[in-house]
Structure 1
Amino acid sequence: MSDSFKTSGGPTRQGGDMEIFEAARDFVRTEGRLVERRLFATVFEGADPAGVVDALRGYQNADGGFGHGLEPDKRCPDSVALDVETAFDILLAAGVRDDDMVRRACDWLQSQATADGAVSLAAPVIEGYPRAEHMSEWTYVPGLNPTAGLVGRLYAMDFEHPWRDQAEAWCTATLAGGFPEDAHAMHESMEFLEHTQRPELAKVKEWLPKLAYYRADPADPSYGVTPLHFASTPDSVWRQLFDDEQIEGHLDRLVADQQADGGWAITWEPPGTMATLEYRGIVTVHALRTLKAYGRLPIS
């Protein structure tokens, strides 16, 4: 671990990577939601991924969309695209696809899309429920975030749907006018580009430093999107954008950021104590998946 990082009271390295893994496992088992516990069991313990699908069913509404705070920054039960994207992420992480579940979600996305296929992260319906401060009017505007990311995830699942094709055309036309200026939208766009047209890596690399909320420096403790978000596995097409020193530095920081209770903290304010724990469960499973992918955990 780099000497430039201070640990936050988490498990010491004396016990090695297994102690880090076991502490995180115990955190997920103690504080995580059912869906994160079942995802953990699937990814790290070989459990049947059908259990992940079963857990997700409780978040899917009769209209086909997902809600009920699946993404915990808003506690709205109604369907929003941000929760649909979260559901897709969970299915991809579990390596499972439920065709009826995904089709119904795509039907809902199509019902909410603009005439040319774009969707927004959320909608004014969230205003009747507790929500994080950043979940405001800007999330009601259709854009590459989340449209491009949703299309990319559907390609990753190899799932065809008329909405996917319509939204793909919109994303292609929008990106032809230039990359977005926000790291979150760029992350979504790169998810799209990885599975569709893959632009020149040099152009993407040149654009990254211009992005708002891009956190290139692993020593920076502030909120942001890091190289490990863009290249969460070493076989990602975007891994080539970052040199070994950058990746290793962010991996060192990820290890150092584990908390004394075994979980990882978050750098924003969810709408309440339960939502904070829920999000910590999400980022803890994600951190373990990243560390596993990069060979930082003693598990296969």
Structure 2
Amino acid sequence: MNQLTKELFEKCKKYILEKGRPLEQHLFINYFVKPCELDIINDLKKYQNTDGGFGNGIESDFTLPYSSPMATSIGLRYLSRYDNQNEAILMIKKAIAYLENTYVPERKGWFAVPREVNDFPHAPWWNYDEEKGMTIIDKYWGNPSAELIGYLYKYREYVANLDVDNILEYAINNINSREVFESQHEIYCYIDLYHTLPKKLADRLEGTLEKAIRQLANTHVDEWEDYVPKPLDFIDNPNKTYGIDEESINTNLDYYIDNIKKNNIIIPTWAWNDYEEQWKIAKVEWTALITLNGLCILDKFNRIEK
């Protein structure tokens, strides 16, 4: 079995700890070295605004300092892992209040980012279309609304004004009514929702998620240098593979290892083609994050040399 050598692991570690943001550095340390949950929570405080939402470039492809539902989904994704800590709960409560204040009833969810995103460096797919009143991302309802509804459900004791059960029912029916799936990012958000739900509710999503992932997961290795959804993009651990076959998973694990052998890191497969100086910064941030995510998935599948 192809494994990542200790030497290559150390090279990845060096990059993350020297080039990554403090958030990614502490995420690495917490996973591979020793617990440092409070450090991660303190890092996240730098991205949370006084209105409870997250911004300030927590998502490296847009630098909008103001709060947005999309950035808040990322903040809550991390905080939900450490909700055994009182500091995390305080931040979660504020974020839930922000989500209630920005909820769009006629959409039964949220728009990803406000129009002010255009005033700051960002990737082209985050450009707010004034005519349509949204970004191209918002074509797919579930990104980030499905994920955010999961956090409302998980932390419903802090929800004051929204009917969580009604909104959740809409989210489940929204995806289950479809036969064709076009956005991997929307499915990532539904996977996050799936993981927040009790089994009885999660079971209602499982078949549709497997169908969507069969449609979207690209198994052609020769295309993986482009920005395509690979099998492991849908999988967080070996215990939940959504019907993806073992051969595809192993091929993807080998690809990560070969990629690190080639570059000593995992490099983003996309670029902004605009705001060149800011993209240089974002590329380094993304490289640290996706290298970290690659190491974590390799570790979970026992593909790192002990």
Q: How many residues align?
A: 281
User: Distance between the aligned counterparts of 1:154 and 1:115, measured in 2?
Assistant: 15
Structure 1 residue 95 displacement after superposition? 7.3
CA RMSD of aligned residues (A): 2.6
Q: What is the CA deviation profile of residues 50-107 of structure 1, one whole-angstrom value per residue up to 9, with x for unaligned ones?
A: 0000011011001100001100101110111221122223335667551111111111
User: Distance between the aligned counterparts of 2:84 and 2:166, measured in 1?
Assistant: 25
User: Do residues 106 (structure 1) and 109 (structure 2) align?
Assistant: no
Aligned residue for 1:150? 148
Quick one: higher RCO (CA 8 Å, sep 6+), 1 or 2?
1
Q: Is the 8 A contact 1:72 1:279 kept in 2?
A: yes
Secondary structure at the counterpart of residue 113 of structure 2: coil
Distance 1:207 1:72, change over 3 A: closer
Q: 1:27 aligns with which of 1, 6, 15?
A: 15
Gaps of 5+ in 1: 3-12
Aligned residue for 2:131? none
Within 5 Å, which residues of 2 pair with 1:186-205?
186-194=187-195, 195=197, 196-199=201-204, 201=206, 203-205=208-210
Aligned residue for 1:178? 178
Distance 1:125 1:217, change over 3 A: same
Aligned residue for 1:8? none
Gaps of 5+ in 2: 128-134
Distance 1:249 1:142, change over 3 A: closer
Q: Is the 8 A contact 2:187 2:209 kept in 1?
A: no
Aligned residue for 1:50? 38
Q: Is the 8 A contact 1:27 1:261 kept in 2?
A: no
Q: Is the 8 A contact 1:43 1:94 kept in 2?
A: no
Q: Is the 8 A contact 2:62 2:120 kept in 1?
A: yes
User: Distance between the aligned counterparts of 1:83 and 1:100, measured in 2?
Assistant: 18
Secondary structure at the counterpart of residue 260 of structure 2: coil
Within 5 Å, which residues of 2 pair with 1:43-122?
43-92=31-80, 98-115=88-105, 117-122=108-113
User: Do residues 274 (structure 1) and 284 (structure 2) align?
Assistant: no
Q: What is the CA deviation profile of residues 161-219 of structure 1, one whole-angstrom value per residue up to 9, with x for unaligned ones?
A: 435545423312322422643221122223323433324755543443444xx423334
Aligned residue for 2:124? 133
Q: 2:213 aligns with which of 204, 208, 230?
A: 208
TM-score normalised by L of structure 2: 0.82
User: Distance between the aligned counterparts of 2:36 and 2:182, measured in 1?
Assistant: 40
Secondary structure at the counterpart of residue 221 of structure 2: coil
- Which amino acid is 1:226 matched to? K
Higher helix share: 2
- Which amino acid is 2:71 matched to? D
Structure 1 residue 159 displacement after superposition? 2.5
User: Do residues 284 (structure 1) and 291 (structure 2) align?
Assistant: yes
Secondary structure at the counterpart of residue 257 of structure 1: helix
Aligned residue for 1:234? 238
Q: What is the CA deviation profile of residues 34-62 of structure 1, one whole-angstrom value per residue up to 9, with x for unaligned ones?
A: 11111111111113210000011011001
User: Distance between the aligned counterparts of 2:291 and 2:239, measured in 1?
Assistant: 21
TM-score normalised by L of structure 1: 0.84
Distance 1:35 1:204, change over 3 A: closer
Secondary structure at the counterpart of residue 233 of structure 1: coil
Distance 1:37 1:165, change over 3 A: farther
User: Distance between the aligned counterparts of 1:290 and 1:186, measured in 2?
Assistant: 19
User: Distance between the aligned counterparts of 2:230 and 2:259, measured in 1?
Assistant: 14
User: Distance between the aligned counterparts of 2:290 and 2:68, measured in 1?
Assistant: 21
Secondary structure at the counterpart of residue 241 of structure 1: coil
Secondary structure at the counterpart of residue 168 of structure 1: helix
User: Distance between the aligned counterparts of 2:18 and 2:94, measured in 1?
Assistant: 32
User: Distance between the aligned counterparts of 1:79 and 1:250, measured in 2?
Assistant: 35
Q: What is the CA deviation profile of residues 221-261 of structure 1, one whole-angstrom value per residue up to 9, with x for unaligned ones?
A: 2212222121121122xx14111111101111111122666
User: Distance between the aligned counterparts of 2:137 and 2:191, measured in 1?
Assistant: 20
